[in-house]
Amino acid sequence: MYRIARVPMRPSLQAAHRVAAITRHMATPAQSSHSASASEEPPVLFEEKLSMRRYILNRPKKLNSLNSAMLDLLAPKLKQWNDADLAGIIVGTGEGKAFCAGGDVAAVVESIENKKHDEALSFFQHEFGLDYYLAKLDKPYVVVMDGYTMGGGYGLTAPAAFRIATEKTQFAMPETKIGYFPDVGGSFYLSRLDGQIGTYLSLTGNIVSGRAAFELGLATHFIHSSRVPQLLEKLSALERPTFGQVASAIDDLYTEREPSDPPFPFAGGVRDALDDAFSQGTVEDILVKLHHYADGKGKNSSADIVQWAQDTIAMLEDRSPTSLKVALQAIRRAKKMDLQHALAMELNIAKKFCSGTNPDFKTGVTAVMITKLKGRPEWSPASLSDVSDAAVEEYFTQETAPKLIMPRAEKDAKTRDTRKYALPSEDLIMKVVKGEHPSSPDTAITVEELLDRFDELTNNKAGVREKVLDVVSRRCKMDGDKFLSWK
């Protein structure tokens, strides 16, 4: 590990140059207020190297799951770095097989069992507060999603302008599996993915692996894990980097698709069926649509669509009925909210789950994480029909709304557009095709013209052409033999 040198927060210009020269030859881990024994490292490590400031989640045996001690370490250090003139870029990584596999929900449930409901809620207040603070960082923020990136790990990842997937990435929001709901801003960020992908991920908790995280917009970039050390060197060498410089540095390490790579799992007819099914207003209606596709009755039905629908039905039938209905309502409402209000809504929902009035959270965590139950936990209520609209509404109406607890910002910065450096959204492609974007031509556009337009808009970003062609194949038709129109 590196050792740390303490520097003034705002040195004079001369001192800044002197410190900058010194830091070119050394990097150091920050001391923390949480001391550890000689045989036990702290759960978060901090590194300062040139202009790069990096936190390293360090509970590898627990897949870096977040606990209160980690939040207490991260919050003040991130504020210090965001306020420091010498810090140019903030990077998050994880030790071992995960970036972060989620929050330590077993500890939360233990607090609930011990009637320490305020303690359980306090964890979420600090966790969500940190997630919101990350969304307002002034400096470029990069997260390397190398390994498991789930639940609370997505809360640290989603606010980053630069989210880097590798072939080892395993993304999921698996909360409905444990009788809870996708939180940490998940309702906000997932609702803004293309089509109904976010709704599908929220309800099923299905895993997205490797390159698919990049292709779906969960990540902004894709590199091979062997290039991560090179990436960190490139980022640390940037002095006072702009967002554009960071994007270019990461783009330079992009790894092209190999013939051995698994195919994109949500292409063609499967994606059309997904959007159709998960656009329905209730979980019951989603399942009706899925059964329609599982029976081979969908338009342009295929074996792939039938298998996907059958697998999706099986996943949903294993999930907590209460969690499914709450998760669907949350993502629908969050699409009309800003991040702050979405997090406030999620905190209200978390408070209800922490109250212990519904046993599913405890049941799910015990079954999945402690007893390792094979099969469906004993949810209560056990079926969707037994979860009334009134019962769901109780999760969204709280008399006393808890508040986010976060580092105090020196100025009220705005949250950033986290899709800016990702592949272009389907909505953006639609606007260019329909002539509703400032860069659109006055006349209809051809496929090649559309591809060239997006090369210009994204500075020839790798993966863009493949994304545009996939959208065109599903959502556009040819007028004559040349020009595109939106279906």
Q: Which residues are catalytic?
A: 103, 152, 175, 183
Identify whether the C-beta of residue 228 lies closer than 8 Å to the C-beta of residue 166.
yes
User: Which three-class secondary structure state does DSSP give residue 127?
Assistant: helix
According to DSSP, the β-strands at 44-49 and 52-57 are: antiparallel
Give the separation between CA 13 and CA 336, rounded to whole angstroms. Answer: 45
Task: Please give the backbone phi and psi of residue 388, each rounded to the nearest 5 degrees, phi first.
Answer: -80, 160
Identify whether the C-beta of residue 361 lies closer than 8 Å to the C-beta of residue 179.
yes
CA neighbor of 224 nearest in space, from 166, 142, 279: 166
User: How is the beta sheet containing 89-94 ordered, strand by strand?
Assistant: 27-28, 44-49, 52-57, 89-94, 141-145, 162-165, 221-222
H-type alpha helices, 280-320: 283-294, 303-318
Q: What is the H or E stretch that residue 132 is in? A: helix 117-135
Identify whether the C-beta of residue 377 lies closer than 8 Å to the C-beta of residue 367.
yes
Q: Which two tokens stand for residue 462?
A: 């790798």
Identify whether the C-beta of residue 149 lies closer than 8 Å to the C-beta of residue 231.
no
**Tokens 């959502």 belong to which residue?**
475
Per-residue b/e over 251-262, b at no fewer than 16 CB within 10 Å? bebebeeeeeee
The contacts of residue 454 (CB under 8 Å, 6+ apart) are 424, 429, 432, 464, 465, 468
Is 97 buried (19+), middle (13-18) or exposed (0-12) by CB count in 10 A? middle
User: Which three-class secondary structure state does DSSP give residue 215?
Assistant: helix
Task: Please give the backbone phi and psi of residue 412, each rounded to the nearest 5 degrees, phi first.
Answer: -85, 80
The secondary structure of residue 227, as a DSSP letter, is G
Query: Residue 53 forms beta bridges with which residues?
Result: 48, 90
Give the separation between CA 354 and CA 115, rounded to whole angstroms. Answer: 10
Handedness of CA 58, 410, 248, 184 (dihedral sign): positive
CA neighbor of 52 nearest in space, from 15, 17, 21, 81: 81
Give the separation between CA 333 and CA 338, rounded to whole angstroms. Answer: 10
Identify whether the C-beta of residue 109 lies closer than 8 Å to the C-beta of residue 102.
no
